[in-house]
Amino acid sequence: MKFAKRLSLFLLLCITFSCTNNRVEAVVPQIIPMPLSETILEGEFIFSSETQIVSNESFKISTRFLTEYLSDFNLKASEAEVNINTIQFIKDETILNTEGYTLDISTETIKISAKTDQGAFYAVQSLRQLLPESLEIGNATEKQFAIQCLKIEDEPQFKYRGMHLDVGRHLFSTDFIKKYIDALAMLKMNTFHWHLTEDQGWRIEIKKYPRLTEVAAFRDETLIGHYNTQPQLFDGKRYGGFYTQEQIKEIVKYANNRNVTIIPEIEMPGHSQAAIAAYPELGCTGEQVKVAQKGGVFEAIYCSKDETFNFIEDVLDEVMELFPSEYIHIGGDEAPKTRWKSCGKCQKRIKDEGLKDEHELQSYFISRVEKYLNSKGRQIIGWDEILEGGLAPNATVMSWRGFNGAIEAAKQHHNVILTPGSHCYFDHYQSENEEEPLAIGGFLPLEKVYSLNPIPEELTQEEAKYVLGAQGNVWTEYMPTSQKVEYMVFPRILALSEVVWSNPENKNYNNFVSRVENFHKRLDVLDINYANHLYEIEGEVVSKETNIFYKMKTVSKGKIIRYTLDGSEPTLKSDIYNTAIPITNKVTIKASVFHNNEKLGKTFSQKINLHKAVGKQITINKALNSSYPGSGANGLINGIKGSNSRYGDKEWLGFSGEDLEITIDLGEKTNVKSIKTRFHNGNGQWIYAPKKVEFWFDVNDRIPSAVLLNSDEMLVNIRLEKEVNTRYITLKIPNFGIIPEGKQGAGHKAWTFIDEIIVK
């Protein structure tokens, strides 16, 4: 028997060597997300049409996926005991994590060991990244290829690894939804949060309420451009659509075959204007409203009367028939209480239930829905606003307004999912390049996503157990096409996949960037419209004693930077950047990344305004906010102006609801003629410019309070009547205060975002 095996191996090797010129060499493993343990071994496994798959009933999904993926070779799976040139699925009860696996590749066999089909599926996804990219579209021209021998032992860090997609603002085809699910599965993400209802459109067929698809699924027109642009313009085109129940069943089955659970979201009590447009009796006034034509927060929310709950329960009954998931997401965010305050039925509900106020009425609303879903064997997830007025007994909190909601919920022993806007909102800009396509605002580069730690440091080890994982959110107000969605999601989803899967001790951003650059080849074959910012340049102003310098770097390795100082485009003849550039005057630096005499990426451009405060000392009376720290306090006096649209970039500092006092120490008495600064005024993102700013000097002079006007840049330009000879300049900036009713974030303190303070 041993002789027969050796003979078979000998014949196989003979065939292999005779076809060497027709096979693809083994790739260096660059798997995303990074496995827990990866050991490279000597040798290669030679895959060909003669390779056999050995499996059993325990691994139906993973085996089917692999055979379909390798369809070019027409392989069949069997339970035959063959030990040479085989891919073997092995059930291993000693692997404790149900999603864990071992992938052991030798010259003779590829062994996939797992306790469950799900674990084996993730082993297949790792194996997939060791294979030629051409297999992604069934276009392999090679008759055989080599796979590097190695051993991987792997399991996820978190049990919840999710991606969200809003289809209320813009609708996407079922084919794209499947493509989106495919991408999640490839990156070992196991949850698709499908945001199906919104003020701008209801996207799920509910047979008992046909007007939801006849009326609520369509809006008269859509906002053109950004929400904050005035005057607002609309396209005048009717827009809408929905998914039939048959389509949803098909997609749920498709996701199940990729070990992806779909969690549907049915928004309540807010973000429900579309439903109320179809059935006005669901609102407090009974008045007819339109399906919303733009994003935002609207006062038309569900009334708390019994008829509304009957409607919601009917809807949820049909939703539960379609989605077998344990969780149903019920929203709970951004629900203005204005109508409830003047609604007789809501006020009677507050009195009858012994509630304190409208916030407790929201808690009652959520708890009542939760109780109904619990009676059906389901659990709820809600955005962190469901904490207000008291948390529903068994609710899981999705913390989006930062980390505080997660901390509060975990300390109350409730499960939490981290999805903070600062790290997980993929509708934010991902580059400081002014040519980036329109986005809601903010700034979320790849590195910041990668830096996310889903377990807040404020939690004890016991409390941290309530953190289920993290999720990336994709709100589509500014994403009308699937190509735009892909551009905003990729490659940031790659970073998030590593955050939620990989051991944080193994994470290394530079190594990750190298793997992303390699992964681009797979995305190209898959026809995924990813954003490539790996060849962009980052810069910063640094001071040393009394001198100012500018430093540059690029995250991709093995490249050079060429630059100019006269505003011209860099060429192969331009200076090579090796060390920090001295800055002695106002200057425009332009730079580009080059490799093998080829320019990569877009030209980097930076204007530096060398004013009197650059490089001096600065203090702020409040700690920097961890979500929007800019480049620290020194970023306010580094000579660089922040973006006009990306309020979260490294030049803007954001503070939540705090009165600020900023002091600049010029080092010695200095003649000051003018001071300029500006504030962002993005009300749609809870950001409000302050109503006034005061300027103080060490000579006890005070400039009269400057009333800020609603201009695009919120520029504050103070020209002094006479020069002031001062060492210290202090800016006192009161927070705007409470966001008014009817606005996004109503009832909460506003954010203050401040840019460069220019002293001349």
For residue range 287-303, list pLDDT tens digits in order: 999 999 999 999 999 99
Q: Which residues pair with 145 in a beta bridge?
A: 24, 47
Domains 2-154 and 160-525 share a fold: no
Write phi, then psi, for 668 (nearest 5 degrees): -160, 165
Query: Which one-letter DSSP state was computed for residue 395?
Result: P
Give the separation between CA 689 and CA 681, rounded to whole angstroms: 5
Look-up: residue for tokens 């999912």? 417
pLDDT at 659: 96
pLDDT digit string, tens, across residues 2-26: 334 344 444 444 444 444 445 678 8
Amino acid letter, 111:
K
Domains of the chain, by residue range, sit at 2-154, 160-525, 537-607, 617-759
pLDDT at 20: 45
Strands 77-78 and 52-54: parallel
Give the separation between CA 314 and CA 420, rounded to whole angstroms: 32
Fold of 617-759: Jelly Rolls (2.60.120)
* CATH class held by domain 2-154: alpha beta
Query: Which one-letter DSSP state was computed for residue 279?
Result: -
Which residue numbers in the chain have pLDDT < 50?
A: 1-21
What is the longest distance spanned by two Cα atoms in the chain? 101
- Smallest CA-to-CA distance from 364 within 401, 309, 406, 315 is with 309
pLDDT at 40: 96
Report the CATH number of the 537-607 domain: 2.60.40
Write phi, then psi, for 728 (nearest 5 degrees): -115, 140
Under 8 Å CB-to-CB from 175, ≥6 apart: which residues?
A: none
pLDDT at 5: 39
* Alpha-carbon torsion (41, 47, 51, 53), positive or negative: positive
* CATH class held by domain 160-525: alpha beta
pLDDT at 707: 67
